[in-house]
Amino acid sequence: MGIVSPGFHGRRRGGVTLPPGQYLTEDFPVLSAGPTPRVAVDTWRFTVTTEFGREHHWSWPDLLALPSETPTVDLHCVTKWSKLGTTWQGVSLDTLLADVETAADYALVYAHGGYTTNLPLDDLLDGQAWIVYRYDDDDLTSEHGGPARLLVPHLYLWKSAKWVRGIRLLDENEPGFWETAGYHDYGDPWREQRYQGD
């Protein structure tokens, strides 16, 4: 018997490899920490604030005018479900941050309803993250974070903040909502980083 069990690298289910401890679902479960905000697109605004306090703003028409991408990605929720091959439409964070001058290493993401989550800035760049507004060829519903949510598919889904309204760039890491409640600071599903200490 080897030192490392096969589960360490993920499980094969239906011809695909899943992160350890995950199971496949065809549904798209809806999990929220509070009431579902209803944000009108005519009042929606997205703001990036640098570590120096400089703000960059986009209205809904501004966001839609930017070049969009249609990533097809797998999702992995900390509650152990995985949904494969989901298709979205949105704007890459590379596009939104292209003209933002920063030397920050971290980002704190803000959402309507008071939710926050933290990420290393590097995890939002190089084609790894989007502000998405369409899912499966339809406008993103409120239940799934519409009108727009962050999508960071290589981390557990709680890092993909629903109802996103802004990002504050930081020199030092600042834990968000679930991270202050004991969830892992990073949240890599392939390393089963569900809770602090994992």
Angle of CA points 194, 196, 198, to nearest 5°:
60
Question: Domain range spanning residue 71?
Answer: 39-191
Query: What are the pLDDT digits (tens) for 133-145?
Result: 999 999 999 999 9
On whether residue 58 sits in a domain, the answer given is yes
Q: Look up tokens 């974070």; give the residue.
A: 145
The angle at the Cα of 80, spanning 74 to 84, to the nearest 5 degrees, equals: 20
Indicate the SS3 state at residue 95: helix
Task: Tell me whether residue 1 is in a domain.
Answer: no
Q: pTM to 2 decimals?
A: 0.90
Residues 43, 176, 96: CA angle, nearest 5 degrees: 50
Cβ atoms 148, 110 nearer than 8 A: no
Residue 115 lies in a domain: yes
CA distance 45 to 104: 22
Residue 29: per-residue pLDDT:
78
What CATH number does the domain containing 131 carry? 3.90.420.10
Report the range of poorest mean pLDDT among 6-10, 94-98, 176-180.
Answer: 6-10
Does residue 5 carry a pLDDT above 60?
Answer: no
Task: Decide if 27 is inside a domain.
Answer: no
Return the DSSP state at 153.
T
Q: Does residue 181 form part of some domain?
A: yes
User: What does the alpha-carbon distance between residue 111 and residue 180 come to, in Å, rounded to a whole number?
Assistant: 16
